[in-house]
Structure 1
Amino acid sequence: MFTEERQQAIIKQLNRDGIVKLQELVQTLDCSISTVRRDLQELEDQGKLVRVHGGATQITTLQSEPGVLEKSSKNVQAKQKIAKLAVQQIRADEVIYLDAGTSTEAMIPFMTTLSSVLVVTNGVQLASKLADINVKTYLLGGELKNTTKAIIGADVVETIKNFRFNRAFMGVNGVHPKYGFTTPDPNEAAVKRDVLAQSELGYFLADKSKLNEVSFAKVAELGAGVLLTDEHDKEVLQEFDQTKRIMEAEK
């Protein structure tokens, strides 16, 4: 395979998954690790990606926020594995909160056998899908954010203060050892923080492409909730395992 073909293949995979791993590229492209490293270096020099430990990620800014359609097509299998793990934490008769987002939306197909669960959500699409499987659901009212289909604003924050949750499941755009859990929109970050404050247990669903990423608005420190991820590299996870609050989805 020629250099240009390899690099196009790398960018294609990066656009699909948001992250590429060095060892996986070696196998996929059938070339040496030094060749892949050289390709990643050249692509970074061209401003097409950012190299990280063990691979590379897409270039993002603090305010970058893909829409629902774009996010729903990325890391589908990873999200499903994380979602399955998340649903396994729920017990019968619990009151849970589901944050708006594609990671939490992936939980719904696994919730069909749950008994007497009450769900509160700020996700319009989530509420509709929960109704389809006959889960009792409260949809919070407020301003609808078009890109993420999330209900945000002061009305949501005020309403959340009147509720208590056994468990809250939230998506984030970035998980960083120093900067914690972050998201691009301060309004969405405010909702997540208030939900966390009203919950007995908080869970953050983040596939491996979100690790070591940072967005504009901070939600919480790493120790504020359990990180559910599909990352299995112990060396990578060690950076995030400050409070032993990490759960790995099945491979």
Structure 2
Amino acid sequence: MLTEERHRIIIDLLKDKETVKIYEIAELTEASESTIRRDLTQLEQEKYLKRVHGGASRLQGKLKELTVSEKTSKSLHEKNVIGRFAAGLAEEGDCIFLDAGTTTLGMIEFLPQVDIVIVTNGLTHVDALLQKGFKTYLIGGNVKPTTKAMIGSGAIEALQKYRFDKAFLGTNGIHPQYGFTTPDPEEAQVKKTAIELSREAFVLADDSKLGEIAFSKIADLNEAVVITNRSGDEPDPAYMEKTTVKVVTT
């Protein structure tokens, strides 16, 4: 079978399935697994798919964004592991920005009971923070229905009144060339501002976000440390060249 035919089959498979395994493609095309690995590498370079451990997955649309309830049900174990590790970075006396999102929400139950101040733009975070007894500030702005995040010019103006020791943020995409990205330009601007106002910034993301590119750029990779899980291969060296990647294992 010609290379172009295999590539068409792989692309068609990913139109019907979110992920496909190397052995499935090899059986269907009657090609060796080493040949399929080369095919997937080429198709990833051409931005048709994303390599994952043991296969490939469909790239998400640049504007696609799940609701809070949809995000909550995805990668629960990974988010808990990442959240526990990130929470351990909080120290006595820290002023922290906690971004809206389900991965940062998962941090809250693990935060140490020490004297810290938390500023957030996440409506879903407030109850959990108050129950833990933290001094909490919710910034103003427009409420984004899908992510329950405060965004817009009001959020930016409120955020600029503060300075942070650490910022913990979520993202929709992490890419060596295109950096941290998210579908909404207004939400991207809030995240970008928080990074600029922080002494240290950490992006929390399960490994499904690696290689993804969303519509709006937040920041370059070197502007924040990445905290992720990685159950299979080690992170691509292309990421390690641009930033620090803290891999949390189960």
Q: TM-score with structure 1 length normalisation?
A: 0.79
State the partner residue of 1:131: 130
Question: Conserved in 1, the CA contact under 8 Å of 2:226 and 2:243?
Answer: no
Q: Residues of 1 paired with 2:184 and 2:21: CA distance?
A: 28
Report the alpha carbon displacement of residue 133 of structure 1 after superposing the two structures with TM.
Answer: 1.5
Alignment of 1:33-52 (within 5 A): 34=33, 50=49, 52=51
- Cα–Cα, structure 1 residues 222 and 244, in superposed 2: closer, same or farther, change >3 Å? closer
Alignment of 1:103-114 (within 5 A): 103-111=103-111, 113-114=112-113
State the partner residue of 1:30: none
Gaps of 5+ in 1: 1-9, 26-32
Alignment of 1:1-251 (within 5 A): 34=33, 50=49, 52=51, 54=53, 55-111=55-111, 113-231=112-230, 233=232, 235-251=234-250
Identity %: 36
Question: Conserved in 2, the CA contact under 8 Å of 1:57 and 1:209?
Answer: no
Tell me the secondary structure at the aligned position of residue 215 of structure 1: coil
Q: Residues of 2 paired with 1:72 and 1:231: CA distance?
A: 19
State the partner residue of 2:3: none
Report the alpha carbon displacement of residue 246 of structure 1 after superposing the two structures with TM.
Answer: 1.0
Q: Residues of 1 paired with 2:165 and 2:75: CA distance?
A: 28
The runs of 4+ residues in structure 1 deviating greater than 3 Å are 19-23, 232-237
Report the alpha carbon displacement of residue 57 of structure 1 after superposing the two structures with TM.
Answer: 2.2
Question: Conserved in 1, the CA contact under 8 Å of 2:50 and 2:211?
Answer: no
Q: Residues of 2 paired with 1:181 and 1:95: CA distance?
A: 23
Q: Residues of 2 paired with 1:244 and 1:188: CA distance?
A: 22
Q: Residues of 1 paired with 2:224 and 2:235: CA distance?
A: 18
Question: Conserved in 2, the CA contact under 8 Å of 1:96 and 1:168?
Answer: yes
Tell me the secondary structure at the aligned position of residue 239 of structure 1: helix
State the partner residue of 1:29: none
Q: Residues of 1 paired with 2:137 and 2:200: CA distance?
A: 19
Report the alpha carbon displacement of residue 20 of structure 1 after superposing the two structures with TM.
Answer: 7.1
Q: Residues of 2 paired with 1:88 and 1:73: CA distance?
A: 24
Gaps of 5+ in 2: 1-12, 25-31
State the AA in 1 paired with 2:165: N
Question: Conserved in 2, the CA contact under 8 Å of 1:97 and 1:119?
Answer: yes
Question: Conserved in 1, the CA contact under 8 Å of 2:176 and 2:242?
Answer: no
After superposition, give the CA deviation of every residue in 1:11-56 in whole Å (9 maximum; x if it has no partner): 9xx87xxx67769x9xxxxxxx95xx69xx9xx9xxxx94525422
Task: Please report the RMSD computed on the Cα atoms of aligned residues, expressed in angstroms.
Answer: 2.9
Tell me the secondary structure at the aligned position of residue 114 of structure 1: coil
Question: Conserved in 2, the CA contact under 8 Å of 1:231 and 1:237?
Answer: no
Task: Report how many aligned residue pairs link the two structures.
Answer: 222
Report the alpha carbon displacement of residue 214 of structure 1 after superposing the two structures with TM.
Answer: 0.1
Q: Residues of 2 paired with 1:117 and 1:21: CA distance?
A: 45
Q: Residues of 2 paired with 1:20 and 1:171: CA distance?
A: 26
Q: Residues of 2 paired with 1:213 and 1:243: CA distance?
A: 16
Question: Conserved in 2, the CA contact under 8 Å of 1:131 and 1:137?
Answer: yes
Q: Residues of 1 paired with 2:219 and 2:22: CA distance?
A: 30
